[in-house]
Structure 1
Amino acid sequence: MTHSHDSSAKDLTNGDFTEVAEPFDLFAKWLADAEPKEINDPNAVALATVDPDGLPNVRMVLLKGFDERGFVFYTNLESAKGRELMSARKAALCFHWKSLRRQVRVRGLVDLVSDQEADEYYQSRARGSRIGAWASKQSRPLESRFALEKEVARYTAKFGLGEIPRPENWTGLRITPLEIEFWHDRPFRLHDRVRFTRASGEAAWDKTRLYP
């Protein structure tokens, strides 16, 4: 996963993270801290959406990149989350690194990544995962495991040893944050919380320290 920040440029340790002026370098540092500590998927994040009836929905996804433009993950646009994201164009994320006793919450606006970004990431995936993107009608009823394996076999034969193009309905989504909140555990439930907010993706950040 790539990002554009040099987290070594600042000392963003537990004791002084509430003093930082913008959130992206701090997020980069916290994610880097999580990589050696979290055994499985330090880039795992809960993604919250809302369906057309206004009922919330949440599931885990993997963050695949971030920079000042936002947080990127990939999915099938015909899945439940894909349809909800494209309908509401708003979403929330929650990172929780239990071993570090840290949490980051994000809320913002949703947009598609460029075709070039999606193509580059898709081609970086394992061949079996690229086949799987064609074989899975994500979120739709599946009659049996055999039916899925049959589709995998069909597309494996179709593409043979050649190039596997990216399906049109499989791409990346970027959440441009309008709010990012950092939380760190402290004794006696007197936690540190700092919230950054802005009016748009181009606006400057405002910072507020919150009661725990």
Structure 2
Amino acid sequence: MTDIQNPHEELTKGDFTEVKEPFALFGEWLDDAKGSEPNDPNALSLATVDETGLPNVRMVLLKGFDEAGFVFYTNFESAKGKELLSAGKAAMCFHWKSLRRQVRIRGTVSEVPAAEADSYYQSRPRGSRIGAWASKQSRPLESRFALEKEVAKFTAKFGIGDIPRPDHWSGMRLVPTSIEFWADRPFRLHDRIQFTRSAPDAPWSKLRLYP
């Protein structure tokens, strides 16, 4: 594989046969971003679709990935959560401006196991765990003071003890059927490599795309 530290180098050599599957390459790019992005190298835009068929997109944080998929967390009672549970599919886009790279991912989504969600929830700062209880995400809020009252209520309720994970707050795993890597090249003659598969247990196919 060509050194991908230089964003103006080719993504791979020749017909990119060195890249067997996309997860290792994504991991390399994410590690590079951790060393160059000023804020949140794990930030991504998450696209869903509502009950009318209109798309929605917002920024969230990737909290883990492996060959099983890409994990993020949300309130299931929010617009995002409802759309994910209803449609069962989503798309992601990572853009690392410092590296001039982008990764686009599409696939199906499903809830992570409870034990996995519990483990991540307990790793969060205490204030963030309180916030998961206090925020009625995506619903009308009459004032900032009303939110602060909810925070105070749950802070008092849980005192200094354990804060259980709310039933409506958990993780989603996007299992990709398509992953595309984009790297900037001079004169907009960019490198694009797309990996696709028909099912999570199917082998990956790959091809180079015109920029």
Contact 2:2 2:10 in 1 (8 A): no
| 2:34 corresponding residue in structure 1 | 35
Q: Distance in 1 between matches of 2:187 and 2:144?
A: 49
Residue 21 (structure 1) shift = 1.6
- The percentage of aligned residue pairs carrying the same residue is 70
Contact 2:11 2:183 in 1 (8 A): no
| 1:133 corresponding residue in structure 2 | 132
| 2:122 corresponding residue in structure 1 | 123
Residue 11 (structure 1) shift = 6.3
| 1:208 corresponding residue in structure 2 | 207
Contact 2:10 2:191 in 1 (8 A): no
Choose between structure 1 and 2: higher helix proportion.
1
Structure 1 runs (4+) deviating above 4 angstroms are none
TM-score (norm 2): 0.94
| 2:182 corresponding residue in structure 1 | 183
SS in 2 for 1:33: helix
The C-alpha deviation readout for 1:83-141, integer Å capped at 9, x for no partner, is 00000001000000001000000000000000010000000000000000000000000
The C-alpha deviation readout for 1:47-99, integer Å capped at 9, x for no partner, is 00000100000000000000001000000000000000000001000000001
Q: Distance in 2 between matches of 1:16 and 1:185?
A: 9
Q: Structure 1 pair 184/11, CA: closer, same or farther in 2 (3 Å)?
A: closer
1:15 matched to 2:14? The reply is no
Q: Distance in 1 between matches of 2:105 and 2:87?
A: 16
SS in 2 for 1:15: coil
| 1:3 corresponding residue in structure 2 | none
The C-alpha deviation readout for 1:11-32, integer Å capped at 9, x for no partner, is 6624353441210000000000
Contact 2:11 2:191 in 1 (8 A): no
The C-alpha deviation readout for 1:158-207, integer Å capped at 9, x for no partner, is 00000000000000000000000000000011000000000011110000
Q: Distance in 2 between matches of 1:46 and 1:16?
A: 23
Q: Distance in 2 between matches of 1:85 and 1:16?
A: 32
Q: Distance in 2 between matches of 1:150 and 1:70?
A: 37
Q: Structure 1 pair 187/196, CA: closer, same or farther in 2 (3 Å)?
A: same
| 2:47 corresponding residue in structure 1 | 48
Contact 1:77 1:83 in 2 (8 A): yes
Matches within 5 A, 1:55-94: 55-94=54-93
SS in 2 for 1:99: coil
Contact 1:12 1:29 in 2 (8 A): no
| 1:195 corresponding residue in structure 2 | 194
Letter in structure 2 aligned against 1:128:
G
Contact 1:72 1:173 in 2 (8 A): yes
Q: Distance in 1 between matches of 2:89 and 2:181?
A: 20
Q: Distance in 2 between matches of 1:128 and 1:211?
A: 47
Residue 36 (structure 1) shift = 1.2
Give the aligned CA root-mean-square deviation in angstroms.
1.1
TM-score (norm 1): 0.94
1:155 matched to 2:150? The reply is no
